[in-house]
Amino acid sequence: MSPLFSPYTLRSLTLPNRIVVSPMCQYSANNGAATEWHMIHLGHLALSGAGMLMIEATAVEPEGRITPKDLGLWDDATEAALVPVLAAIRKHSKIAVVMQLGHAGRKASSKVPWEGGQQLSVADGGWMSYAPSAVSQKEGEVEPLALDAAGLRRLRDAFVLAAKRAERLGIDGLEVHAAHGYLLHQFLSPIANHRTDEYGGSLENRMRFPLEVFDAVRAVFPADKPVGIRVSATDWMENGWNLEQTIAFAAELKKRDVDWIDVSSGGISPLQKITIGPGYQVAFAQGVKEATGVNTMAVGLITEPQQAEEIIASGKADFIAMARGILYDPRWPWHAAAALGATVEAPPQYWRSAPHGQNKIFGETVFGGR
């Protein structure tokens, strides 16, 4: 059996393979509510043959959106908007659907990327952002408001309420977003966290709030459903968050029975210096896995089936999470199955699409019709 296409069980959830569709912001919501775009976007990715589909970073409060067009889950309207999207997926696909819960922190109130992504002023429809410290993302931006004790409680409660709504929607698992320079990563990184109280300074203190949020989410989400977390393993900056600190954070998460750690990197500052190449972040996932034994997801320019197969077969990671690559080729799992001699789930309407001699990628199928 192909390691990439071998099953894996996370609590009561058994995945047919190790391919994960990463959460990818679409900036296409209406006041946080899912739209027809989400039906199309998530619907076609649900037919990809991947084992897990992650819904994009979903803001737990309006002020936690990166842009005014971000998806959210904070009230009855945003919850109701996801019902038909999930119903359509469930009707036509067996894929596991996981939601990433997040908060943008100081990176909130921005224009959508195709309009430049710059900070959006309050006068132009933006809002004041919140962060661990009153330190802006980049020079010239309005400084965020430093969170006080009441603000920290409000945010923990917002994550909890979103997790409860996700459960009502029938979501199969959750991922807490603590990467890419957003709020929980801001607490972890000394680049963004300049606090002098129990949430700043030492590594233990900087980890405190992200761990509190994880604990709060885990406590209210059903025990038989998995909860993972996404981290940035390094800030790619001197004196920033790094792999050693990530491993220490992972060790604390292991004590809390985290189901996976989705290991990415970067995002805390535009001054980062990233070295990019094929599989450039795999070593971070491998480092976390080897040090802690926690399930890991590898990301970052993983584009070829044999490349993904080797990562899983060698034990560098337990899952491959794909973003841009699967947007470019939404049938990547089909093509990987054909290349590796494996099978993959696909809707019967598409069974006849397999190239001549490769219909076995869909298992034992019967091709009828006229």
Measure the CA–CA gap between 317 and 308, rounded to whole angstroms.
10
Active site residue 130: no
Residues sharing a CB contact under 8 Å with residue 291, sequence separation 6 or more, in sequence order: 247, 250, 251
Residue 158, token pair as written in the block: 């917002």
- Choosing from 8, 27, 130, 182, the catalytic residue is 182
CA-CA distance, 118 to 141, in Å (whole number)?
9
Query: Distance (Å, rounded) from C-alpha 56 to C-alpha 343?
Result: 27
Cross-strand pairs, 175: 100, 228
Task: Kindly state the helix (H) or strand (E) to which residue 170 belongs, with its residue range.
Answer: none
Q: Quote the CA–CA distance of 238 and 71 in Å, as a whole number.
A: 33
Residue 206 CA to residue 212 CA, distance in Å, equals 11
Check residue 238 and give left, alpha or beta (phi > 0: left; psi -120 to 50: alpha): beta
User: What is the CA angle 304-300-213, rounded to 5?
Assistant: 135
Q: Are the C-beta atoms of 184 and 177 separated by less than 8 Å?
A: yes
Q: Determine contact, residues 128/87, Cβ cutoff 8 Å.
A: no
142 Cβ neighbours under 8 A, 6+ residues apart: 119, 121, 128, 129, 136
Catalytic residue IDs: 182
